[in-house]
Amino acid sequence: MTDKDLRRDVLDELDFDPSLDAAEIGVAVSDGVVTLTGHVGSYAEKVEAENAVRRVKGVRAIAQEIQVRYAEAKKIEDDQIAARALAIIDWSVHLPKQAIQVKVAKGWITLTGAVPWQYQAMGAEAAVRKLSGVVGVSNLIQVKPEVRPALVKDKILEAFKRGAMFEADGIKVRVEGDKVTLEGAVTAWADREAAERAAWSVPGVRAVEDRIVALS
């Protein structure tokens, strides 16, 4: 595919996306690298423009230079943006209360704090970037798991009990940071899979190494 063909496909994808107004977006392509310029009316549109380009086959990289421009009548003060950001985070049932802090400077939101799950950090960013007046978001939220070996073991026992499996005593659990290693032997492959699923279900676990041996 030539750069000219790729540019046409990118423009078509931007025009096709109903969630953004691509009239003021410029597109340049060089060796598969797409550069987006121009301006849009919200930060959500800027993000969606980049997402649209990512969907186009042949795009190797994206240089994002789109600016967010609000009409003077629509400009919102930083304290109002901060208040709305905090409110939408508090309203989200999957986000822990008081765990996320918000700072706003000239429409740019910076999120800090710590949560146990990666999806919570991403969910907070997705929630605030839709707010009117936002020109950008820096997501500095840390994922700090609280993984305890006893909790992992309990989860495995619960999973085995639900599945009428009683071989948890043959499984050893080792936890290093956010990584769980399972060792031991069980009689059935289904037991091995149940133990691994149980380990993944514990908040904060980001890696599971399953060394359990199924004897049949």
According to the model, what pLDDT value does residue 165 have? Answer: 54
- C-alpha–C-alpha distance, residues 111 and 123, integer Å: 11
pLDDT score of 168? 65
Strand extents, DSSP E, 4-89? 25-30, 33-40, 61-64, 67-68
Among 161, 181, 158, CA closest to 171: 181
For domain 3-68, give the CATH number: 3.30.1340.30
Domain 72-143 sits in CATH 3.30.70.20: no
Residues of the chain with CATH 3.30.300.130: 149-214
Topology at the third CATH level for domain 149-214 = GMP Synthetase; Chain A, domain 3 (3.30.300)
Q: Helices 149-162 and 189-200, interaxial angle, to 10°?
A: 130
pLDDT tens, residue order, the chain (216 aa): 898 999 999 999 999 888 888 888 999 999 989 999 998 888 888 999 999 999 999 999 999 999 888 766 567 888 999 999 999 988 887 888 788 999 999 889 999 998 888 888 889 999 898 888 898 899 999 887 666 767 777 777 676 666 555 566 677 888 877 788 888 888 777 778 878 888 887 776 778 898 888 776
Residues forming CATH 3.30.1340.30 domain(s) in the chain: 3-68, 72-143
Collapsing DSSP to helix, strand or coil, 10 comes out as helix
How far does Cα 25 stand from its chain's mean position? 26
Residue 204 has a pLDDT of 67
Predicted confidence at residue 53, as pLDDT, reads: 92
The DSSP code for 124 is H
